Amino acid sequence: MTKTPAAKLTLGPVLFNWAPDKWRDFYLRIADEAPVDTVCVGEVVCSKRMSLFEPVLAGVIERLQAAGKEVVLSTLALIMDEKEMNAVRALAAAADFLVEANDIAAAALLDGRPHAIGPFVNVYNEGTLGYLERRGAVRVALPVELDAASIAALAGSADAELEVQAFGRLPLALSARCYHARAHGLHKDACQYVCGDDADGMELRTLDGDAFLAVNGTQTLSYTYGNLVGELAALRTMGVRRFRLSPQDIDMVAVARVFGDVLEGRQTPPAALEALGVLAGGKPFANGFHHGTVGAQLVAASGSAE
């Protein structure tokens, strides 16, 4: 009998503009208390934020490694000028770390050496996956909009480890323009870092007042929290062994423990869903993309929408 490989939890990079002290303390607690195997650090959304947490970055990495966590360096997902390209080049040169490319230009810089592909790179079919694997990708975080059938097809042909986001607001789009600054009547170049006022993203509503999306600087996210705690067993059967938790401004240590308990068989998915609902403060969950339906929908294990 073939034994199913042990599942692993990855904590994705903080996507939001948290104050440096908060950012540092978050990762130090993750190092000391969270049952995650891998932690991604780095600025993915806006290069202007890099200088804010750079003074504490080395200490965070050292603490994470001392706690036995694998540290992955994540690159920008949208490179718009030579300064940002140079920052990505410097990151790609970090030979002592696995680097996660969130832009195809970053993947090109990592060509020929082991690296990871982040969820912002469009890996939708076996041909793309094979192309990236031949150039050194050993881990691929799949786009959040893929359904179960697509994930299964990719898992069936993959040599690289596949990773699926199992919790957190879903990254949907990036723009050269800063929505956050515009909403406050500011220009992107003089944004005053107003995105820092919304630790979980700025929530948007339709003209009818319905919750719709969330904005994080230049990034558009889902309003709902993606939650695949009920799909973990099926994903493992497909061959997926890595599950990503995207940080939100809630107790992510407790979130990681819930997912760890489900993966280890100590908690049932229904009980976990209830516990996560409390931790998320009642924020609605969704798994619609995974089930091939409206992304903002929560589909029960039976296939009926909740």
Domain boundaries, the chain: 8-171+225-281
What pLDDT score was predicted for residue 301? 62
Tell me the CA end-to-end span of the chain in Å, nearest whole number.
37
What pLDDT score was predicted for residue 94? 84
What pLDDT score was predicted for residue 305? 43
What pLDDT score was predicted for residue 252? 98
Q: Which CATH architecture has domain 8-171+225-281?
A: Alpha-Beta Barrel (3.20)
> Do residues 107 and 101 make contact, with C-beta atoms less than 8 angstroms apart?
yes
What pLDDT score was predicted for residue 4? 61
One digit per residue, pLDDT tens: the chain, 306 residues? Answer: 445 678 999 999 999 999 999 999 999 999 999 999 999 999 999 999 999 999 999 999 999 999 999 999 999 999 999 999 999 999 888 878 999 999 999 999 999 999 999 999 999 999 999 999 999 999 999 999 999 999 999 999 999 999 999 999 999 999 989 999 998 899 888 899 899 999 999 999 999 988 889 999 999 999 999 999 999 999 999 999 999 999 999 999 999 999 999 999 999 999 999 999 999 999 999 999 999 999 999 998 644 444
Instruction: For 47, list phi and psi in degrees, rounded to 5.
Output: -65, -20
What pLDDT score was predicted for residue 302? 42
Residue 89's Cβ-count burial label (10 Å; 0-12, 13-18, 19+) is middle
What pLDDT score was predicted for residue 304? 41
| Owner of token pair 């789009």 | 173
Q: What pLDDT digit, counting tens, does each position of 244-296 carry?
A: 999 999 999 999 999 999 999 999 999 999 999 999 999 999 999 999 999 99
Nearest-angstrom CA–CA distance, 160 and 113: 13
The kind and range of the H/E element at 1 are: none
Distance of CA 261 to the CA centre of its chain: 20
What pLDDT score was predicted for residue 1? 42
Nearest-angstrom CA–CA distance, 183 and 8: 39
